[in-house]
Structure 1
Amino acid sequence: MNEYVYPIIFGVVVGVATRLFMLKTDYRQYPTYLHGRIIHVALGFIAAGLGAIAIPAIMEEEFTAITFLTLAATQFREVRNMERNTLTQLDGYELVSRGATYIEGIAIAFESRNYIVIFSSLTTTLVYLLVNFWASLIVGVVLIILAMKLMAGGTLKEIVEIEYAELHFEGAGLYVDNIYIMNIGIPEKQEAVLKYGMGFVLKPKTFNARSTIANLGQRQAILHDVSTALGVFRDSGEPSLMPLAKRDLDDGRLGVFVLPQESNKETAIQVIGETPTLENAIRMPTEMNANQKGGVK
């Protein structure tokens, strides 16, 4: 039997295991459908195979085989497009949409996970060939743990303080604390909002966090996650019952108005805190100021 068979098989196993550990379903319920899982596991298997074969190909001086990695990158870019298109189509049927920023973040994550699989299988195969099986096993476990840590990303609770705030009306204006949300002039709708609605105030911990939560995509992600986890008291064609998030222009706080079917303050605060900080929403104006002071242009 060829000396590369066992290293390649082990590299593929580690790569597929890495992809399986990163393919999890939480309260956001994506992906849950079986066919979606099969697609991502199959692509993970292909990525693992490419990564595992790369090192033996180099050792055998079959450098043309490495060009398959370039083809793989093209195919995995299509994974991002597939996820983006699918979620964009589904988003039109959500009572509270994810928003384009959230969707793009999910699409990028699915593409990048395949590259992590390639790196994991390539590294374990290399260690197997250079050292032994046990060393590659240790490296494989470490890589899986690192992959799970790296792909976890940041959450809002790391950059904001979340507090419950009572809803109240001043005339037709709806307020969360002292943050204006919207106008609701129909008395019946006002009663429904006060009965079922909940308000939360997000206080940014830093100036950078203030800019991040100001992003409209980040705000929509908060509303979507809360509505998914706790339900939403509305139906289509009812704009007055639409969850909203508005800024306090003076201090950058964010007022969040939601209408959950399950009115649980603690759970809602937990869900808001676990909302991912979207990569495309992160802003660091203080870094720009520091660069300018240091003479970097």
Structure 2
Amino acid sequence: MSTNFLMIIIALLMGTMARVSMMRVDYRQYPTYPQAYLSHFTLGIIAAALGAVAIPAIASKEYVAVTFLALAAQHFRDVRNLERQSLDNIEITELVPRGTAYIEDIAKAFEARNYIAILTALATSTGIYLGDYFHLSIILQGFIGVIVGYSTLFLLIRMLRGKAIEDIAEVKEATIAFDGPLLTLAGVPVINIGLKASREIYLNNGKAVEIIPKDSYGRAILANLGQRQALQHNAATQLGIRRDIDEPDFSPIARINPETGSIVMALIPIDSDIEDFITVVRRTPILESSKKKPIK
């Protein structure tokens, strides 16, 4: 078995494994299955193949391989655009929309995962090449390649792991009250609820939380409209929501307290308690577009 063949096969498998390990359906139900699974799996194989053949090609002085990597980068940027367009097309079917900021984050994540597949395969083939350079056995070369590839995958995933709301803020239960028809959460005026029946539903079945930022960094993130929309979407998706398209009174609402920078949010969930609500809010990811570094 030639070293180049071993290098390409193992690197291809490692790169594909890297992409498969990041394919899972969560509460967002995206990617859906089986169509989207097949699409992302195929793209993962292509990405892994590009990373796998780069080192053997360069070692053989076939420098045109670098051009293929550049073309791959352009192709995966197009993949991000397709993901964004797909999510935009189904946005109108959501009772509580994700919002453009959340969609952009999801699209960027799928693009980045293909790059992770490329880099994992590239690192694996580099490890095998170094083993061959020092005249190690084929088995040892393969072992070194797998270790280098796995280490690269681990570091990349760790580096790209985002933070959640619980890292920047404290979440606690808030009181729901009415000042006439005006809904207030923890004393913060939120919205006018005109129907008495709707006010009764809020008082009997509604749940509310207050999200208190730990510092100015957290306050800037929570002030972002895209981040607040993501909070509303996550809560409605995971807890369920008692509303239909013609019931705007029961849409989840997140409002900022201009005095403290905290966020109050109310929801009428389906068979969930306040602890579930707090957990969902705490685990909501922080969007890249909402990250700010204010002057302290």
Q: Does 1:233 align with 2:242?
A: yes
The aligned amino acid for 1:196 is: N
In structure 1, C-alpha distance between the alignment counterparts of 2:88 and 2:205, rounded to whole Å = 29
Rounded Cα–Cα distance in structure 1 between residues aligned with 2:23 and 2:258: 39
CA distance in 2 between counterparts of 1:262 and 1:31 reads 27
Q: CA deviation at 1:65?
A: 2.1
Alignment of 1:141-180 (within 5 A): 141-180=150-189
Alpha-carbon contact 2:228-2:254 (below 8 Å) kept: yes
Q: Percent identity?
A: 40
Aligned to 1:259: 268
Q: Report the counterpart of residue 252 of structure 2 in structure 1.
A: 243
Deviations 1:87-135 (A, max 9, x none): 1111111011100000000001101111111111001101011122211
Aligned to 1:103: 103
Q: Which runs of 5+ in 2 are unaligned?
A: 132-140
RMSD: 1.2
Separation of aligned partners in 1, 2:15 and 2:205:
47
Runs of 4+ in 1 over 4 A off after TM superposition: none
Matches for 1:41-80 after TM superposition, within 5 Å: 41-80=41-80
Tell me by how many angstroms 1:248 deviates. Answer: 0.3
The CA distance in 2 between the partners of 1:154 and 1:58, in whole Å, is 38
Which residue in 2 is equivalent to 1:125?
125
Counterpart code for 2:29 = Q
Structure 1, gaps ≥5 residues long: 290-297
2:120 and 2:150 in contact (8 A); partners too: no
CA contact (8 A) 1:81 1:107 kept: yes
Q: Using the alignment, how far apart are the partners of 1:106 and 1:265 within structure 2?
A: 28
Structure 2 Cα separation of the partners of residues 135 and 2 of structure 1: 16
TM-superposed CA distance for 1:181, in Å, is 1.2
Normalising by the residue count of structure 1, what TM-score does the alignment of the two structures yield? 0.94
Residues 167-204 of structure 1, C-alpha deviations (whole Å, 9 max, x = no match): 11011110111111101011011111222211100000
Shift of 1:263: 2.6
Structure 1 segment 11-30 matched on structure 2, within 5 A: 11-30=11-30
- In 1, Cα distance between the equivalents of 2:272 and 2:7? 54
Report if aligned partners of 1:15, 1:118 keep a CA contact under 8 Å in 2: yes
> 2: CA distance between counterparts of 1:125 and 1:160?
43
SS at match of 1:251: coil
Structure 2: distance between partners of 1:94 and 1:192: 22
